[in-house]
């Protein structure tokens, strides 16, 4: 018997599977649209920075608080940072608070003022002024909660731009702008660096060709190795480039003076240290700023992590590279480094070893004069070594040997005033 076609069409339309999938697809599309709307209206967060100065009443200012390298500076800044962090983490702004950093401790009468930068994340549509007053109100509640610090609360906090925050942070030594995010540490060990990762690293160029690494330690001073000048020490033939690429540098500066340690010994590698003065003062930015120098007494613990960076060759006897590379190594005690299978007594007290027991990550030719750095408990970067020498590169039991910066701390001050 003949059946009209419509009937079969009808039955296909009413197929429960088709209806089900159509409904599911519709719900999914609606959910995605609603989720995107909620995301952009409520959850698309932006970072906001605030500047605030806290007066510490029960700590007397002393010269020990002049430099972030001293234990007193570190301890006091850590206490202030920790009290402020705890306060926000226990408040209703706990999900918005990202971090706080003491950018400077300064003298006020006989007491101390701590200048801080605080970072928060709020949805974009939030009212900035109301957030500022919520932050101020949380700070006011902190009054009873300062432990053994007696703090005069700031009457006001100031909203600052991202640029102002970066400026405040990068005026300080060793402070990369990422230090307030609690992000996981980058996994590195023989990989390319990104712009701003090692902002104190410079390339020292002889007749415009990369020759050695160097380290920005002030706005006119570069620290490096004495052996970089064995072929030539005429400042007019040297330039300094900044940024991760030596082919497209962010900045190039001329050199006015080269000061080489007068007792540098090319046979023993002793006193392998020199400083260069730049012809002009450098304006720091997020990608170009100075590292911290440790105190002469700072203890460098064997086994602790350090990073070495440079444009040196990737294999023994190879060419230097044009994009900055970074490697993670561990500090090795002079005793271990002087073992017979290692350097058999050639590592002198003014030197420091770092590497991996099995080799594989190391400085090499062209890295000389560059930095070996470590992070302190406040995540500030300190220079502990200057790439100096080694038996080839990355061999097992033949770690890199560095000039021990703590041993030359006085010498650096005598030459540069830093
Ligand atoms: C060099 O030739 C050199 N593996 C620098 C560092 C090391 C070896 C050689 C350390 O400048």
Give me the pLDDT at residue 259, please: 98
Give me the pLDDT at residue 10, please: 52
Chain position carrying tokens 């850590």: 78
Q: Which of the four CATH numbers 3.40.190.10, 2.40.10.10, 2.40.30.10, 1.10.10.60 does domain 305-406 have? A: 2.40.10.10
The verdict on the CB of residue 329 being under 6 Å from ligand 1 is: no
Gap from CA of 373 to ligand 1 centroid (Å):
17
Decide yes or no: CATH 3.40.605.10 for domain 45-172.
Answer: no
Q: Please give, one letter per residue, the 3-state secondary structure of 404-416.
A: EHHHHHHHHHHHH
Distance CA 316, CA 395 (A): 10
Active site residue 53: no
Domain ranges for the chain? 45-172, 201-278, 305-406
Distance CA 68, CA 61 (A): 14
Q: Longest Cα pair distance anywhere in the chain, in angstroms?
A: 113
CATH of domain 201-278: 2.40.10.10
Gap from CA of 362 to ligand 1 centroid (Å):
9
Q: Exactly one of 197, 272, 287, 367 is catalytic; which is it? A: 272
Active site residue 272: yes
Distance CA 73, CA 80 (A): 11
**Are 240 and 251 contacting, i.e. CB atoms less than 8 angstroms apart?**
no
Active site residue 197: no
Nearest residue CA, atom 1 of ligand 1? Answer: 365
Distance CA 168, CA 116 (A): 9
Gap from CA of 391 to ligand 1 centroid (Å):
7
| Fold match flag (45-172 vs 201-278) | no
Output the tens digit of pLDDT for each of the chain's 418 residues. Answer: 444 444 444 555 567 888 888 888 989 899 888 888 777 666 678 889 999 999 998 899 999 999 999 999 999 999 999 999 999 999 999 999 999 999 999 998 888 999 999 999 988 777 767 889 999 989 887 766 666 778 877 767 999 999 999 999 999 999 998 887 755 455 455 789 999 999 999 999 999 999 999 999 999 999 999 999 999 999 999 999 999 999 999 999 999 999 999 999 999 999 999 999 999 999 999 999 999 999 999 999 999 999 999 999 998 889 999 999 999 999 999 999 999 999 999 999 999 999 999 999 999 999 999 999 999 999 999 999 999 999 999 999 999 999 999 999 999 999 999 9
In sequence order, the 6+-apart residues with CB closer than 8 A to the CB of 253 are: 239, 240, 242, 278, 279, 280, 282
Pick the closest to residue 276 from 237, 235, 311 (CA basis).
235
Q: Exactly one of 227, 261, 269, 289 is catalytic; which is it? A: 227
The verdict on the CB of residue 393 being under 6 Å from ligand 1 is: yes
Distance CA 268, CA 251 (A): 35
The verdict on the CB of residue 343 being under 6 Å from ligand 1 is: no
Give me the pLDDT at residue 11, please: 52
Task: Give the number of residues written for the chain.
Answer: 418
């Amino acid at each position: 018997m003949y059946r009209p076609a419509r009937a079969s069409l009808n039955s296909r339309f009413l197929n429960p599977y088709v209806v089900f999938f159509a409904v599911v697809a519709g719900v999914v599309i609606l959910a995605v649209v609603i989720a995107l709307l909620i995301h952009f209206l409520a959850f698309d967060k932006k970072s906001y920075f605030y500047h605030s100065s806290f007066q510490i009443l029960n700590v007397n200012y002393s010269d020990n608080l002049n430099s972030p390298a001293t234990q007193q500076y570190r301890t006091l800044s850590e206490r202030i940072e920790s009290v402020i962090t705890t306060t926000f983490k226990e408040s209703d702004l706990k999900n918005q608070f990202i971090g706080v950093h003491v950018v400077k401790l300064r003298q006020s009468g006989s007491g101390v003022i701590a200048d801080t930068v605080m970072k928060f994340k709020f949805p974009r549509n939030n009212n900035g002024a109301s957030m500022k007053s919520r932050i101020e109100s949380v700070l006011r509640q902190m009054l009873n909660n300062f432990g053994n610090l007696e703090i005069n609360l700031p009457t006001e906090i100031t909203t600052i731009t991202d640029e102002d925050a970066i400026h405040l942070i990068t005026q300080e030594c060793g402070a990369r702008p990422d230090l307030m995010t609690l992000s996981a540490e980058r996994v590195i060990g023989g990989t390319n660096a990104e712009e701003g990762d090692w902002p104190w690293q410079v390339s020292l160029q002889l007749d415009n060709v990369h020759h050695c690494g160097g380290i920005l330690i002030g706005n006119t001073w570069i620290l490096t190795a004495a052996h970089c000048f064995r072929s030539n020490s005429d400042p007019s033939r040297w330039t300094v480039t900044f940024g991760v690429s030596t082919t497209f540098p962010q900045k190039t500066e001329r050199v006015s003076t080269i000061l080489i340690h007068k007792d540098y010994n090319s046979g023993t590698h002793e006193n392998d240290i020199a400083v260069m003065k730049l012809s002009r003062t450098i304006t720091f930015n997020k990608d170009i700023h100075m590292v911290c120098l440790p105190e002469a007494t700072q203890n460098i613990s064997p086994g602790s992590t350090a990073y070495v960076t440079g444009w040196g060759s990737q294999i023994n006897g190879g060419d230097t590279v044009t994009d900055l590379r970074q490697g993670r190594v561990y500090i090795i005690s002079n005793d271990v480094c002087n073992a017979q299978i290692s350097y058999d007594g050639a590592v002198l007290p003014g030197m420091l070893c770092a590497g991996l027991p099995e080799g594989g990550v190391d400085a090499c030719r062209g890295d000389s004069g560059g930095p070996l750095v470590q992070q302190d408990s406040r995540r500030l970067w300190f220079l502990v070594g200057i790439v100096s020498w080694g038996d080839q590169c990355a061999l097992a039991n033949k770690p890199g040997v560095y000039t021990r910066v703590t041993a030359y701390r006085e010498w650096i001050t005598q030459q540069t005033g830093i």
